[in-house]
């Protein structure tokens, strides 16, 4: 049977979309390698003098505030504005939302620019919606994924974004219907920045289709399935980091279709 | 027999201390992965607007000047001040001490803030103590570890820090008694930034105990032993880098206790 | 038979030249590890307060504009000036040349400082020579290597640089004679920044010989051959990234001499 999500991956391979990343120092290498592995074409650039120009030649933009400072924040605002002016879809990864007032200010300014997609863990999505006062402990998730559904729906209603809450079960919110994705493995939380990689892969998929929700589902399923396959070959998070890249590169239609676990509610 | 150093690692796994790193671009990914592998919770953040706030929610701080510039140096000073105000223990990794006057100025300003721990190679520790004029060649060690003992004792007496000189034999100075650790493998010097990783692991251990000397010994022994085990599985420094992460994740009490080589003098 | 290119690698191992890199965030870790693997001694430093001083103690300088911003560009100009004043050879890696006017301005300013070596893909070399209007799509190569020969010769004649156009066939231009190198493997294009690594290796080789053309040939052959050997052990670009480091570390004279594919025209 045809799997439309798999087909989106084929579009990425065929079109090799240029994905402009303004992301954090920790994950840049892995993010670039993950995008290359699935056939996309990554660019990392943050100079305020050029981000606008890079957005105009890119198919999508990924903004990740993991190691942002004042300069990088300014570049992110400019890039988001350029993306909106050119109707370029963009992803917001709100790393560490709620941890400091600086992050919350940057994130509020980015939210008001209406990201096409927001992807974070439960703590981050909740902090973003300011619906409770759970303190974020840096980049770790302390809330269960389910408890973030209300926050995701609030963000979707307020900013129009497709919202993905990643966790043991990934949740995709785009209106009333909720999509649940149950791929992935707990060891993936011991590799730094796989959430950031997920956001970058979303960037690739929204670069080849206007069906944003399907693009998010395809990207999250892909990294979850590739992660499951990679864990089987890994004795720890060190080998997992590289095996995940190899699996993203080698994954087959059979593997993708037989492993994908999706449900709606 | 109970090994107290091993027990500190169990505390790290149980408490998952948040370790705030202001470190260099070269090692951020590996440092984060090493901290995750032992059960700690890494945050990398350097914006002057938020470093103070991050220190207040962290159990420890690691400052590494490897790729510092004026902005990052200012962030380091602010973070060290915040650590001192909140009695948060912090580690100084003086990468390239003695190589340029810029580094020496930053380091002097950090020393005066009295780091809880200083960890560097022999060249760096000697340069830090300004006890000789050996030119540091960037981040490589050219002095033997033993010749740095005087420098380490001077730094300890002047700034109150526990000082670790890493090399073929690691030396921990905290007053008159000197601790010698003889784990590790020469191939580890061919992987960039394993000294930086060691400093980050020290950050995790001082986040779970006030016995700073024991924390340093536990961290240095852990990376040395994990490195020895990893070298046996590696054909070169590329595979060593990832096998080390896997070993940090998988190391057992038996492995730790049977490999640890410690002596006092 | 004696292979002079192999002998240059032995000089790198014997002299362990200090190579000062001002490079991009994506590749810093791999670049440092590749330099360590072949026996060189890498330093990454970009603070305008210290780059001049670092150049004076280094054997060579590598400037890579991949993630440059205004501050980093200023540091690059200062470092290039210091290199010229001290007769320190330096490499320019013009990542993304032609993609934005900011990059073109930085690159023009660097070109006018007459790099000892320029290494880029065909699109970048052509953009640098402004000989056509092919839009560069970020850091990917879209032009065939051969079409860049004219551009390379123009750059050589105008700025005196040895110019290397990397691609399926690597081309080295230093006057009328053109050298063709046919090592490497297509999978290497799926690992981020191997071109940047090549530039860094060139930095190591020009740090041990004044025969710049031979140094470039030796470095490009080395990474191409190590890459071929590594691909045989790799199931994807994730494992290739680390196997390449292992091969750079372990390569033998027999492997180097029997695999090297060089021709002149």
Question: Cβ C100–A53 below 8 Å, yes or no?
Answer: yes
The size of chain A, in residues, is 265
pLDDT tens for B243-260 read: 999 999 999 999 999 999
C91: left (phi over 0), alpha (psi -120 to 50) or beta: beta
pTM for the structure as a whole: 0.95
Give residue C133's pLDDT band: very low, low, confident or very high (50, 70, 90): very low
Give residue B140's pLDDT band: very low, low, confident or very high (50, 70, 90): very low
Strand intervals (E) in B132-239: 162-166, 170-173, 178-181
Asked whether the beta carbons of B71 and B41 are under 8 A apart, the reply is no
Angle at A179 between CA A177 and CA A184, to 5 degrees: 170
Q: Of C9, C2, C20, give the one whose Cα is nearest residue C208.
A: C9
pLDDT tens for A207-263 read: 999 999 999 999 999 999 999 999 999 999 999 999 999 999 999 999 999 999 999
CB atoms within 10 A of CB C238: 29
The predicted structure's pLDDT at residue C147: 74
DSSP secondary structure letter of residue C136: P
Give residue C144's pLDDT band: very low, low, confident or very high (50, 70, 90): low
The DSSP H or E segment spanning B246 is: helix B237-250
Q: Which of C33, C43, C44 lies nearest to residue B237, judging by beta carbons?
A: C33
Helix axes C4-15, C212-232, angle to 10 degrees: 90
Which residues on C lie below 8 Å from A196 (Cβ)?
none
Question: Cβ B102–C37 below 8 Å, yes or no?
Answer: no
Q: Which of A173-177, A229-233, B152-156, C107-111 has the lowest mean pLDDT?
A: A173-177
| Helix, coil or strand: residue B85 | helix
B·C CB contacts under 8 A = 105
Rounded Cα distance between C26 and A24, Å, is 10
Mutate to test the interface with C, among B138, B235, B246 (most CBs of C within 10 A): B138
The DSSP H or E segment spanning C117 is: strand C117-121
The DSSP H or E segment spanning B8 is: helix B4-15
pLDDT tens for A165-191 read: 999 999 999 988 899 999 999 999 999
**What secondary structure does DSSP assign to B89-131, as a single string?**
-EEEE-TTTTS-HHHHHHHHHHHTT--SEEEEEHHHHHHHHT-
Give residue A144's pLDDT band: very low, low, confident or very high (50, 70, 90): low
Asked whether the beta carbons of A138 and B41 are under 8 A apart, the reply is yes
A32 touches chain C (CB under 8 A): yes
Residue B134 has pLDDT above 70, yes or no: no
The predicted structure's pLDDT at residue A133: 43
Residues paired with C90 in a beta bridge: C61
Which residues on B lie below 8 Å from A67 (Cβ)?
28, 44-46
Asked whether the beta carbons of B204 and B221 are under 8 A apart, the reply is no
ipTM of this predicted structure: 0.94
Averaged confidence pLDDT in chain C: 94
C96: left (phi over 0), alpha (psi -120 to 50) or beta: left
Rounded Cα distance between B216 and B169, Å, is 14
Which residues on A lie below 8 Å from B36 (Cβ)?
189-192, 237
Mean pLDDT of B177-182: 95
B242 touches chain C (CB under 8 A): yes
Calculate the alpha carbon distances from B116 to B4, B80, B155 in Å: 21, 10, 11
The predicted structure's pLDDT at residue C1: 55
Asked whether the beta carbons of B119 and B93 are under 8 A apart, the reply is yes
Contacts of A47 (CB under 8 A, 6+ apart): A75, C68, C69, C70, C102
Which residues on C lie below 8 Å from A250 (Cβ)?
235-236
Q: Of C162, C163, C258, C250, give the one whose Cα is nearest residue C212.
A: C162
Give residue B130's pLDDT band: very low, low, confident or very high (50, 70, 90): confident
Angle at C244 between CA C240 and CA C249, to 5 degrees: 155
Q: Which of A44, A50, A248 lies nearest to residue C25, judging by beta carbons?
A: A44
Asked whether the beta carbons of B20 and B204 are under 8 A apart, the reply is no
For chain C positions 40-69, those within 8 Å of chain B (CB to CB) are 41-50, 53-54, 57-58
Q: Which of C25, C37, C57 lies nearest to residue B236, judging by beta carbons?
A: C37
B264 touches chain C (CB under 8 A): no
The predicted structure's pLDDT at residue A265: 83
Which residues on B lie below 8 Å from A189 (Cβ)?
36
Asked whether the beta carbons of A125 and A167 are under 8 A apart, the reply is no
The size of chain C, in residues, is 265
Q: Of B207, C234, B249, give the one whose Cα is nearest residue A188.
A: B249
Q: Of B79, A75, A47, A157, give the one whose Cα is nearest residue C99.
A: A47
Rounded Cα distance between A65 and C96, Å, is 23
Residue C45 has pLDDT above 90, yes or no: yes
Question: Cβ C191–A33 below 8 Å, yes or no?
Answer: yes
Averaged confidence pLDDT in chain A: 94
Question: Cβ A47–C24 below 8 Å, yes or no?
Answer: no
Rounded Cα distance between C192 and C235, Å, is 16
Which residues on C lie below 8 Å from A54 (Cβ)?
99-100, 138
Residue A125 has pLDDT above 90, yes or no: yes
| Token pair recorded at residue A87 | 């109707």
Rounded Cα distance between A19 and A143, Å, is 30
Angle at B158 between CA B152 and CA B159, to 5 degrees: 90
The predicted structure's pLDDT at residue B176: 83
Rg (CA), chain A: 17
Which residues on B lie below 8 Å from A102 (Cβ)?
47, 49-50, 53
Rounded Cα distance between B229 and B244, Å, is 8
Contacts of B14 (CB under 8 A, 6+ apart): B39
Q: Which of A18, A29, A71 lies nearest to residue C138, judging by beta carbons?
A: A18
- Parallel, antiparallel, or unpaired for β A18-22 and A41-44? parallel
Mean pLDDT of C242-253: 98
CB atoms within 10 A of CB A153: 17
pLDDT tens for C193-223 read: 999 999 999 999 999 999 999 999 999 999 9
Q: Of B261, B168, B173, B174, give the one whose Cα is nearest residue B222.
A: B261
Q: Which of B36, B49, B241 lies nearest to residue A237, judging by beta carbons?
A: B36
Residues paired with B93 in a beta bridge: B64
Q: Which of C44, C49, C243 lies nearest to residue B238, judging by beta carbons?
A: C243
Which residues on A lie below 8 Å from C238 (Cβ)?
33, 37, 241-246, 249
Asked whether the beta carbons of B63 and B95 are under 8 A apart, the reply is no
Rounded Cα distance between C194 and C201, Å, is 10
Residue with tokens 């034999």: B169
Q: Which of A178-182, C126-130, C245-249 has the lowest mean pLDDT?
A: C126-130
C243 touches chain B (CB under 8 A): yes
Which residues on A lie below 8 Å from B25 (Cβ)?
25
Question: Cβ A50–C100 below 8 Å, yes or no?
Answer: yes
**What secondary structure does DSSP assign to chain A, as a single string?**
---HHHHHHHHHHHH--EEEEE--TTTHHHHHHHHHHTT-EEEE---TTTHHHHHHH-SEEEEE-TT--HHHHHHHHHHHHHHHHTT--EEEE-TTTTS-HHHHHHHHHHHTT--SEEEEEHHHHHHHHT-S-PPP-TT---S-SGGGHHHHHHHHHHH--EEEEESSSEEEESSS-EEEE----GGGGGSTTHHHHHHHHHHHHHTT-S-HHHHHHHHHHHHHHHHHHHHTT-SSHHHHHHHHHHHHHH--HHHHHHH--EEE-
Mean pLDDT of A111-133: 89
A neighbours by CB contacts (3+ pairs under 8 Å): B, C
Residue A147 has pLDDT above 50, yes or no: yes
| Token pair recorded at residue C126 | 């052509």
Calculate the alpha carbon distances from C20 to A254, B31, C23, C113 in Å: 48, 22, 9, 17
Rounded Cα distance between C226 and C247, Å, is 5
A36 touches chain C (CB under 8 A): yes
A70 touches chain B (CB under 8 A): yes
Q: Of B126, C146, B47, give the one whose Cα is nearest residue A25.
A: B47
pLDDT tens for C85-104 read: 999 999 999 999 999 999 99
Rounded Cα distance between A204 and A225, Å, is 17
| Token pair recorded at residue A154 | 């609030």
The predicted structure's pLDDT at residue A138: 45
| Token pair recorded at residue C124 | 């970048």
Asked whether the beta carbons of C92 and C117 are under 8 A apart, the reply is yes
Contacts of C252 (CB under 8 A, 6+ apart): none
Three-state secondary structure of B214-233: HHHHHHHHHHHHHHHHHHCC
Rounded Cα distance between C49 and C72, Å, is 12
Which residues on B lie below 8 Å from A241 (Cβ)?
33, 242, 245
Residue with tokens 């290359």: A36
The DSSP H or E segment spanning C232 is: helix C212-232
CA atoms within 13 A on the CB side of C44: 27
């Amino acid at each position: 049977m045809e799997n439309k999500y798999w087909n989106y991956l084929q579009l990425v391979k065929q079109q090799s979309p240029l994905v402009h990343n303004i992301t954090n120092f920790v994950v840049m290498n892995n993010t670039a390698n993950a995008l290359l592995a699935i056939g996309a074409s990554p660019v990392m650039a943050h100079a305020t003098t050029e981000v606008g120009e890079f957005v105009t030649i890119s198919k999508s933009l990924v903004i990740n505030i993991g190691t942002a400072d004042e300069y990088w924040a300014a570049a992110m605002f400019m890039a988001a504005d350029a993306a909106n002016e050119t109707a370029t879809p963009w992803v917001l990864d709100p790393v560490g939302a709620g941890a400091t007032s600086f992050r919350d200010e940057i994130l509020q300014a980015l939210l008001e620019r209406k990201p096409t997609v927001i992807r974070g863990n439960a703590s981050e999505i909740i902090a973003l919606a300011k619906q409770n006062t759970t303190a974020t402990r840096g980049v770790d998730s302390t809330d269960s994924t389910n408890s973030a559904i209300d926050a995701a729906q609030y963000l979707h209603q307020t900013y129009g974004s497709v919202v993905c809450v990643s966790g043991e079960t990934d949740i995709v919110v785009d209106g009333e219907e909720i999509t649940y994705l149950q791929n992935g493995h707990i060891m993936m939380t011991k590799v730094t920045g796989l959430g950031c990689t997920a956001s970058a892969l979303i960037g690739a998929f929204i670069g080849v289709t206007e069906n944003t929700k399907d693009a998010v589902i395809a990207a999250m399923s892909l990294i979850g399935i590739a992660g499951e396959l990679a864990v089987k070959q890994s004795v720890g998070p060190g080998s997992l980091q590289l095996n995940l890249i190899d699996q993203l590169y080698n994954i087959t239609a059979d593997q993708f279709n037989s492993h994908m676990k999706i449900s709606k509610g």
